[in-house]
Chain A
Amino acid sequence: MMSFMELFQLATHVGLHHFLLFSAILFAVGLFGLLTKKGLIPLLMCVELMLNAVNINLVAFNHYMPVYDYSGQLMAIFSVAVAASEIAVGVALAFRIYRDHGTVNVDDLDEMKG
């Protein structure tokens, strides 16, 4: 069993694991939201949270792992681009759905049910 001191030392030396844990928690928060929210736009926000968590991982790996170039950050940038597209289309969709159905609550939207 580690002593308090060792634990403290571990906690205060910020490293890759801190970021990984943080992004895991952030992702989990987003996931919880994704599972519990009703409105379409909050859902989109939760997705953004999860994407951000992923980006954090990428950047952190790039910083802490011996990779010697910026490919991790570059991945994150691509991810940002994809996320931006996603949010743009998502918002347009939400708007469209609202106009056609008068609601953005996902439980009212089950037309594709088999």
Chain B
Amino acid sequence: MFDFALYHAWLIPLLPALAFLVIGLGTRQDKKKSAIIGITAIGASFLLSLGVVGAVLTKRLVMAAPFVMKTVWAHIGGMDLGMGVLIDSLTAMMLVVVTTVALMVNIYSVGYMEHDPGMGRFFAFLSLFAASMLGLVISLNFLQMYIFWEGVGLCSYLLIGFYYYKISAREAAKKAFITTRIGDFGMLLGILLIQITFGTMDFIELKTLVPQYIWISGTSFLTVIGLLLFIGPIGKSGQFPLHVWLPDAMEGPTPVSALIHAATMVVAGVYLIGRAYFIFAELPIVMNVIAWLGGFTAFFAATIAVTQRPFKRILAYSTISQLGYMMLALGVGSLTASMFHLMTHAFFKALMFLCAGAVIEAMHEEADIFKMGGLRHRMPVTFKCMTIGVAAIAGLPPFAGFFSKDAILAAAAEVSFPLYLLASVTAFMTAFYMSRLLFVAFFGEVRDDCPAQETNAFMRWPLVVLAVLSVISGAWGHFAGFGDWVFYGVHEEEAINWAIAGSSIVLSLVAMWLAYQIYVEKRWSSFQIARRLGVLYDLSYHAYYIDEIYAFIRELAVDKLGRLALWIDTHVVDGVVHGLGRLAKGVGAVLALPQNGDVQRYVAIFYTGVVALVAYSLFYAVKILSVTGGAF
């Protein structure tokens, strides 16, 4: 049974891909059939993934001893480009996370997209995304990973722009694609350098080659490669300074935000570093960069999230912040903590996004949390789920986030105190802004014009499932020994460090109390605080004006320069061409002068030529004759 799943792991991405084909070519117009096909495919993948997990557990396929299936995809110019399946504990974990969330989101979408005419298209894209993401997860080499990496990027583009008639959605999709493309550029360079340096892109082969290389040549060149590779995750996982696309990506349908921009695609960057940890772990400089950039992003995004008003935007910045956490964990050398947080975060962030979707749909597309209020009376299930999510992200025991966040904080504390401090402050702010979101939207008085009602069953049950997972996955992972399976190098048994855990619980509780005082009890006016903070508030509210800066740079470096190039092309390059044309005309006119219609002049010119030719040939004839000595 488990063997079947293991040897048919390639079916996991293939089934959703087939679903995409069937829906795209056949049942696009039929909502019901499309939904059934999509859910069936991802459900089957989910079951297979569970089988894979079973296989991993029974065969003990840890990261050091993976299971590999390999085939040649193309052979070109002396390179063998392979495709295949690499199954180890990390892969199995990712497979389960991705298929679980994808299945939940698929089911949820049946309810959410009910009235949308493009539902068939939606399910097609969702299936394509699932296929790409799962393909990425089981990647055997960098090229395969890059291919599916771009594939998920495409799906993200298509799904952000799903409401293509909205200009904002269209622009957001474009922005997401291009921003991540900049990251991909760096990553592609890194991959190329790996191919050129090692002659292979295969993870397994590289695992043996890299230490040898370091032994011989040192780490300086590899550091360049590592930094270039890291640019990819910066783009994909929304790290500063390429995070700008993620908040805008919230223009897409909410299930998409839950699946792609919270739980799965954005963690691909983290996953990539985890997968290639055997390279990164050897490069202290790169690790430092990753850790500090992650820490900074976590803090930076949290400061923005504090002042945002739209429901999903807050969640988006929170995602950026949490991704920063994961990066930080990777950077301080704890793959286990990072992956653990990846898993718990996937569940509770997907949960919160789906709650957001339910709320926004119930509010008839009203996204501003300050226009909501008292929703806990109208939508009790959603409220409870959301509360679980907030508790989880704030790191309260026994919810999932507590265990994973504690692991990260402990790992950071071991390496660098400033990083630990940064992470703790971020944790404090996270608890604050998430509670703010919860209190503002769900507490207080119900507004008179509030249309909210509890959502339908399709949307409710996935929430419940994810809520349960958000509660138990942390404790379960911790006590069932997540770290026994997903680890790099030598695994060390980690007990909970209660000094760190205790302080983080206290911080979170303080933050939540503060939020409660401000937004529910109204002890302090939030507006007054905002005014006191002045410039800081403005900066935070406008996300540090980074979008504006980028727009300015783009205008200058792309559009203006483009117009300049066009001007050069039409006036200088073409000018030369046309100048040559005019020159030819002029020369032609000069050469046409003798041709004045006087036939006899033509004759004279012709015979002048003949005379010249005769003289020329005579010259040689005489020369030859003088050599041969032959007169006649």
A and B touch in the complex (CB under 8 A): yes
Seen from chain A, the residues whose Cβ lies within 8 Å of a Cβ on chain B are 17, 31, 34-36, 106-107, 109-114
Question: Out of B592, B600, B632, which one reaches A106, CB within 8 Å?
Answer: B600
Decide if B607 touches A114 in the complex (CB within 8 Å): no
Mostly helix, strand, loop or mixed at chain B's interface?
helix
Q: Which chain B residues in 579-616 approach chain A with CB under 8 Å? A: 592, 595-600, 603-604, 607
Whether the Cβ atoms of B596 and A34 lie closer than 8 Å is no
CA distance A18 to B598 in the complex (A): 35
B607 and A111 contact, CB distance less than 8 A:
no
Chain A, Cβ-Cβ closest to B593: A114
Is A34 in contact with B597, judged by CB distance below 8 angstroms? no
In order of increasing CB-CB distance, the 9 nearest A-B pairs are A110-B597, A113-B597, A114-B592, A113-B596, A112-B597, A106-B599, A114-B595, A35-B600, A34-B603
Which residue on A lies nearest to B588, using beta carbons? A114
7 A-B contacts (beta carbon < 8 Å): A31-B607, A35-B600, A35-B603, A106-B598, A109-B597, A110-B596, A113-B597
Q: What residues of chain A lie closer than 8 Å to B597, measured between beta carbons?
A: 109-114
Q: How far is the CA of A111 from the CA of B596 in the complex (A)?
A: 9
Tell me the B residues contacting A by CB distance below 8 Å.
Answer: 592, 595-600, 603-604, 607, 632
Cα distance, A113 to B596, chains bound together (Å): 5
Chain A residues near B600 (CB-CB < 8 A):
34-36, 106
Chain A residue with Cβ nearest B595: A114
Complex alpha-carbon distance, A73 and B549, angstroms: 93
Q: List the B side residues contacting A31 at CB < 8 Å.
A: 603, 607
Give Cα A111 to B592, complex, Å.
15
How far, in whole Å, are A36 and B600 apart by their CA atoms in the complex? 8
Q: Besides the contacts A106-B599, A114-B597, what 4 more A-B pairs have beta carbons closer than 8 Å?
A: A31-B607, A35-B603, A106-B598, A106-B600
Q: Which chain A positions have C-beta within 8 A of B632?
A: 17
- Cα(A114)–Cα(B596), bound, Å: 7
For A36, the chain B residues whose CB sits under 8 A away are: 600
Which among A17, A31, A111, A114 has the greatest number of chain B C-beta atoms within 10 A? A114
* Residues from chain B with Cβ under 8 Å of A113 in the complex: 595-597
Residues of B contacting A106 with CB < 8 Å?
A: 598-600
- Could you tell me the distance between the alpha carbons of A114 and B603 in the complex, rounded to whole angstroms? 17
A106-B598 Cα distance, complex, nearest whole Å: 7
Q: In the complex, how many angstroms separate the beta carbon of B95 from the nearest chain A beta carbon?
A: 81
Task: Give the shortest distance, in Å, between B572 (CB) and chain A (any CB).
Answer: 33
Q: What is the distance, in angstroms, from A24's C-beta to the closest C-beta of chain B? A: 11
Cβ contacts under 8 Å, A114 to chain B: 592, 595-597
Complex contacts, B596 vs chain A, CB 8 Å:
110, 113-114
In the bound assembly, the distance between CA atoms of A34 and B605 in angstroms comes to 13
Nearest neighbor of A15 in chain B, beta-carbon distance: B632
The minimal Cβ–Cβ distance linking A82 to chain B, given in whole angstroms, is: 19
The residues of A that contact B595 with a CB separation of less than 8 Å are: 113-114
